[in-house]
Structure 1
Amino acid sequence: MPIAVAITVLVVASVAFHLFSPWWRTPIASNWGSIDSALDVTLWICAAAFILLNLFMAWALVRYRHRPGHRAHYEPENASLEKRLTVWTAIGIAGMLAPGLAAWGKYVSVPKEAALVEAVGQQWNWSFRYPGPDGVLGAASVKYITPDNQLGLDPLDPFGRDDLLVESGDLHLPVGKPVKVVLRSKDVLHDFYVPEFRAKMDLVPGIVTYFWLTPTRTGTFDILCAELCGTGHHEMRGKVVIEPPKDFAKWQSEQTSFSQILAEAPPAAMSILLLKANACTVPASWSNR
């Protein structure tokens, strides 16, 4: 009996904690409401299974407890019960997977009109790159990284000369415009995550990953690394500023291009960079075109 009471109290307390908890999802700021819907479906299915199974177990402990004159019936197999459990389990799993698969299908289908921006992670900060007037990000590789070329852009690639670099600032995006976020890591595994966007993706060393979103409200939000990446993991934060398109265009016009950085680099640094460029072959997976 005490165990049955404890199980019942656990169920009631868990439901009450969920209903009255002050900790819940942050207000959404992107088009990914379908991700919230998929999480809600999973939550309700798991909650129903949790409540029903635990209450059934508590009832069984009371109903079939040891009492004088009562003897348990031993039944090693029950094919009918096993079939029903299999069917209901399959329905529950399908119910959880279907909304997630539908959301994932949209998540990896980038609109053709989506703008492009690159986020580069390293221990333990974020840098960003925007295409210039040509709308194309130039090729990049860790082989080209120098103190004067921290994002590793290929100095011989003409498509990268007009790229805009934000190495110690915030990520700016226009509200209401779809954007494809290309992700690169300079060292270890990271994860780009903005809770209000609901969207996230790993940054895997050596390859380019991506996701897309459409910001739906203005504001400033935290960028977190959602993958344990070393002792400074907790400090790997940034800011994303969602602003009206006019403000975004004004901010973008004030950023520094890669050609300006090359022009301001010392001659010795440029010589080293060009020597690296002539000696290296850019892996295709690191090209964003």
Structure 2
Amino acid sequence: MRVAIVIVALVLGSVAFHLLSPWWQTPLASNWEAIDSALNITLLICAVAFIALNLFLALALIRFRHRPGHRARYDPENPSLEKNLTFWTALGIAGMLAPGLVAWGKYVDVPKDAAVVEAIGQQWQWTFRFPGPDRVLGTAGVEYMTPDNPFGVNPLDPFGRDDILVESNELHLPKGQPVKMILRSKDVLHDFYVPEFRAKMDLVPGIVTYFWMTPTQDGTYDILCAELCGTGHHQMRGSVVVEPREQFEGWLAGQMTFSDLLAGASPEAVTKLFAQANTCTRPATWGMR
């Protein structure tokens, strides 16, 4: 009986904690209402299962407790109970999977008019790259990375000359514009995550990953690394500023291009960079065509 009372108290306390808790989702600032809906449906199904199973357990402890003169019945098989459990379990799992699959189908279907932004992660900071007026990101690769070319842009690729390089942890995006985030890592596994956007994806060394979203609310939001990436993981933070397009264009115009980077390097460094690029045998694949 005491155990049953503790179980009921646990259920009531859990529900009260959830309803009264100040820790909840951050306000949505992107187009991903579908992800919130999938999470809420999963939470609701899990809550119903949690409450029903624990209350059933408490009821069973009370109803079938040991009492003098009562004897337990041995019932090793119950087809009806097994069918019911299988049906309701399958229904619950389908209810949790279906909204997530619908959201995922939209998540990987990038709009054709989406702008392209590249986010590069390294221990323990973020940098970013935008295509220039040609609207095409130049190819890049770790084999081209030097102290004078930290983004690893291929100097032999003419599409990369006008690429816009952002060496700070602050990213600006225009409000209302779909954006495809191209993600790559210089070293270890990272994860680009802005809680208000509900969108995230791992940065995997050696390959390119991506996701897309549309910022819908002006403001400044934290960029977090959601993958344990070393002792400085907690310091790997940045910010994304969502603003009207006019302000975004003004900010973008003030950033450095890859041509500016080459112009600021010493002639010896540029010569070495091109010589290194000419000796590369593996084709650069970090880019958009």
Alignment of 1:44-63 (within 5 A): 44-63=44-63
The DSSP-based 3-state class of the residue aligned with 2:81 is helix
Aligned partners of 2:169 and 2:237 also within 8 Å? no
Counterpart for residue 154 of structure 1: 154
The DSSP-based 3-state class of the residue aligned with 1:14 is helix
> After superposition, what is the alpha-carbon deviation per residue over 1:93-120, rounded to whole angstroms, capped at 9, x for unaligned?
0000000000000000000000010000
The DSSP-based 3-state class of the residue aligned with 1:286 is coil
Alignment of 1:273-284 (within 5 A): 273-283=273-283
Aligned partners of 1:175 and 1:242 also within 8 Å? yes
Question: TM-score scaled by structure 2?
Answer: 0.98
Counterpart for residue 257 of structure 1: 257
Deviation at 1:199, TM superposition (A): 0.2
Determine what percentage of the aligned residue pairs are the same residue.
Answer: 71
Q: Which runs of 4+ in 1 moved over 2 A?
A: 281-289
Counterpart for residue 106 of structure 1: 106
Counterpart for residue 17 of structure 2: 17
Q: How many angstroms apart in 1 are the aligned matches of 2:33 and 2:56? A: 34
Counterpart for residue 225 of structure 1: 225
Q: How many angstroms apart in 1 are the aligned matches of 2:255 and 2:283? A: 28
Change (3 A) 1:285 1:155: closer
- Between 221-230 and 76-85, report the one with greater CA deviation: 76-85
- Between 157-166 and 263-272, report the one with greater CA deviation: 263-272
Q: Which amino acid is 2:281 matched to?
A: T
Deviation at 1:80, TM superposition (A): 1.3
Alignment of 1:118-157 (within 5 A): 118-157=118-157
Q: How many angstroms apart in 2 are the aligned matches of 1:169 and 1:56? A: 52
Q: Number of residues paired by the alignment? A: 289
Q: How many angstroms apart in 1 are the aligned matches of 2:148 and 2:58? A: 67
Counterpart for residue 96 of structure 1: 96
Deviation at 1:282, TM superposition (A): 4.5
Question: TM-score scaled by structure 1?
Answer: 0.98
The DSSP-based 3-state class of the residue aligned with 2:59 is helix
Counterpart for residue 65 of structure 1: 65
Q: How many angstroms apart in 2 are the aligned matches of 1:121 and 1:101? A: 28
> After superposition, what is the alpha-carbon deviation per residue over 1:247-284, rounded to whole angstroms, capped at 9, x for unaligned?
00111111110001101101121122112100113445
The DSSP-based 3-state class of the residue aligned with 2:229 is coil
> After superposition, what is the alpha-carbon deviation per residue over 1:156-191, rounded to whole angstroms, capped at 9, x for unaligned?
100000000001241100001101000000000000
The DSSP-based 3-state class of the residue aligned with 1:93 is helix
Indicate whether 1:2 and 2:28 are aligned. no
Q: Which amino acid is 2:117 matched to?
A: V
Change (3 A) 1:58 1:164: same
Aligned partners of 1:138 and 1:157 also within 8 Å? yes
Counterpart for residue 175 of structure 2: 175
- Between 41-50 and 273-282, report the one with greater CA deviation: 273-282
> After superposition, what is the alpha-carbon deviation per residue over 1:217-263, rounded to whole angstroms, capped at 9, x for unaligned?
10000000000000000000000000000000111111110001101
Change (3 A) 1:165 1:91: same
Q: How many angstroms apart in 2 are the aligned matches of 1:272 and 1:13? A: 66
Q: What stretches of structure 2 of length at least 5 have no aligned partner?
A: none
Q: How many angstroms apart in 1 are the aligned matches of 2:135 and 2:252? A: 13
Q: How many angstroms apart in 2 are the aligned matches of 1:209 and 1:281? A: 23
The DSSP-based 3-state class of the residue aligned with 1:34 is helix
Counterpart for residue 37 of structure 2: 37
The DSSP-based 3-state class of the residue aligned with 1:83 is helix
Deviation at 1:210, TM superposition (A): 0.4
RMSD of the alignment, in Å?
0.9
Deviation at 1:20, TM superposition (A): 0.3
Q: How many angstroms apart in 2 are the aligned matches of 1:101 and 1:11? A: 30
The DSSP-based 3-state class of the residue aligned with 2:176 is coil
Q: What stretches of structure 1 of length at least 5 have no aligned partner?
A: none
Q: How many angstroms apart in 2 are the aligned matches of 1:169 and 1:69? A: 74
Deviation at 1:288, TM superposition (A): 2.5
